[in-house]
């Protein structure tokens, strides 16, 4: 399940959203661009706030509204049909500006009441944090220094019949906010509709596990991605392959369901592609699996289960 990739060619095609960005992963939107399997393109993405927070006075409650996490796409992948798997290798991620922003958004985040964990508290204070990026490090007032470790917070395909908010991660990928959708890794996504209809956005300059306040180092950027297709092979949930690891992403609530999904998907991968008895895979993952929290703030929580390839037969 390792697609060929032809990155970094000089004549690489650039995809900028010509019309408005979208806020849903939808099968009902006209493609903005087309790629062929094997092709590498550079895609420009807005930050998760659509750039609306760029000054200290841009309080989230005043400027954000309901349209969040603008996506570039959909991108039609030639030949993709339901039942195939789309492979997207992240070749390179670059920022298109020299600062990132985080913020406390009222009733959003992992350590606050939210619209789902609905309580009677007043919201936590709003605050905006601007980080300056220089020499590969984000700097917040000389107090926090966070190395540039970028990934795409949101990548996914269109669901079969639903149009899901760009804030929601699920089987189709979406707003997973897991740090392993980073340069060098390949994300595998289910193809649910003709052409797959790929969307991406929400570049994070860096993020801690769980993205606990809900807002990472949000930045606009340029993503060089290679697309490939695995025909006639379906997966149920997103998978990620790094040079040395197999991973699967489960997105659900409560969090234990996300963990179960991720580990079962990894059992399936080992069974289908590496000839494991499923229960033996269960045993091996017990002793050698990894499991971290990508996000604990989105409409579904995303967990990543993994296994070093050194354990493969």
CA distance 137 to 223: 19
> Which of 17, 69, 102, 220 lies at the binding interface for a second copy (CB under 8 A)?
102
φ, ψ at 140 (rounded to 5°):
-110, 105
Structure token pair of residue 61 = 């409650």
How far apart are CB 181 and a second copy at their closest, in Å? 17
Give the residues across from 224 on adjacent strands.
42, 92
Q: Does 18 bind a second copy (CB under 8 A)?
A: no
Measured CA distances, 185 to 23, 140, 180, 305 (Å): 25, 29, 7, 15
Q: Tokens for 64?
A: 């954000």
* Nearest distance, CB of residue 12 and a second copy, angstroms: 30
Residue with tokens 């409650």: 61
Q: Which of 23, 188, 198, 199 binds a second copy (CB under 8 A)?
A: 23
Q: Fill in the per-residue mask, 168 to 207: x = in contact with a second copy (CB under 8 A), - = not in contact.
A: --------------------------------------xx
- Per CB under 8 A, contacts with a second copy among 27-86 are 28, 66-67
- Interacting positions 264-303 with a second copy (CB under 8 A): 264-265, 267, 278-280, 282-293, 296, 301, 303
CB of 187 to a second copy, least distance (A): 20
- 230 lies in the site for a second copy, by CB under 8 A: no
Distance (Å, rounded) from C-alpha 116 to C-alpha 218?
A: 23
Report the residue number, 11 or 143, with the smaller CB distance to a second copy: 143
Choice from 154, 259, 298, 302 touching a second copy (CB under 8 A)? 259
- Cβ nearer to a second copy, comparing 203 with 285: 285
Binding residue for a second copy (CB under 8 A) from 46, 47, 180, 211? 211
CA dist 255 and 107 (Å) reads 19
Residue 111 interacts with a second copy (CB under 8 A)? yes
Whole-angstrom Cα distance, residue 58 to residue 40? Answer: 37
The number of beta carbons lying within 10 Å of the beta carbon of residue 176 is: 32
Interface segment toward a second copy; rule CB under 8 A; list 20-28, 30-38, 50-58, 183-191: 20-28
Which one of 12-20, 22-30, 43-51, 69-77 is the stretch in contact with a second copy (CB under 8 A)? Answer: 22-30
Q: Which residues contact 161 (CB under 8 A, 6 or more apart)?
A: 27
Q: Are 298 and 213 in contact, with CB atoms under 8 Å apart?
A: no
CA distance 106 to 61: 7
Total of chain residues touching a second copy, rule CB under 8 A: 85
Please pick, from the candidates 37, 210, 221, 238, the single residue that binds a second copy as defined by CB under 8 A: 210
Cβ neighbours of residue 273 closer than 8 Å, sequence gap 6 or more? 1
Q: Please tell me whether residue 118 binds a second copy under the rule CB under 8 A.
A: yes
């Amino acid at each position: 399940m390792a697609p060929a990739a032809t990155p970094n060619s000089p004549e690489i095609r650039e995809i900028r959203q010509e019309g408005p960005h979208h806020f849903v992963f939808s099968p009902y939107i006209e493609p903005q661009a087309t790629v062929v399997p094997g092709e590498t393109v550079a895609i420009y993405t807005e930050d998760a706030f659509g750039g609306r927070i760029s000054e200290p006075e841009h309080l989230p409650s005043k400027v954000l509204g309901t349209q969040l996490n603008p996506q570039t796409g959909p991108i039609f992948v030639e030949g993709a049909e339901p039942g195939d798997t789309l492979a997207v290798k992240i070749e390179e991620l670059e920022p298109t500006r020299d600062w990132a922003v985080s913020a406390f958004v009222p009733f959003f985040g992992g350590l606050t009441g939210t619209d789902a964990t609905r309580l009677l508290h007043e919201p936590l204070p709003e605050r905006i944090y601007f980080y300056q990026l220089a020499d590969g490090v984000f700097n917040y007032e000389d107090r926090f220094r966070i190395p540039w470790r970028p990934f795409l917070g949101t990548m996914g395909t269109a669901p079969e019949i639903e149009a899901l908010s760009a804030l929601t991660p699920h089987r189709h990928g979406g707003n997973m906010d897991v740090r392993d959708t980073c340069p060098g890794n390949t994300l595998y996504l289910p193809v649910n509709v003709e052409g797959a209809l790929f969307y991406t956005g929400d570049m994070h300059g860096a993020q801690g596990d769980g993205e606990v306040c809900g807002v990472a180092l949000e930045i606009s950027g340029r993503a060089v991605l290679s697309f490939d297709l695995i025909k006639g092979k379906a997966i149920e949930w997103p998978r990620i392959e790094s040079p040395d690891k197999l991973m699967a992403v489960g997105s659900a609530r409560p969090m234990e369901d996300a963990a179960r999904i991720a580990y079962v998907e990894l059992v399936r991968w080992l069974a289908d592609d590496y000839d494991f008895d499923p229960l033996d895979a269960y045993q091996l993952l017990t002793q050698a699996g990894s499991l971290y929290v990508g996000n604990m703030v989105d409409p579904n929580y995303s967990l990543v289960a993994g296994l070093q390839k050194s354990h493969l037969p």
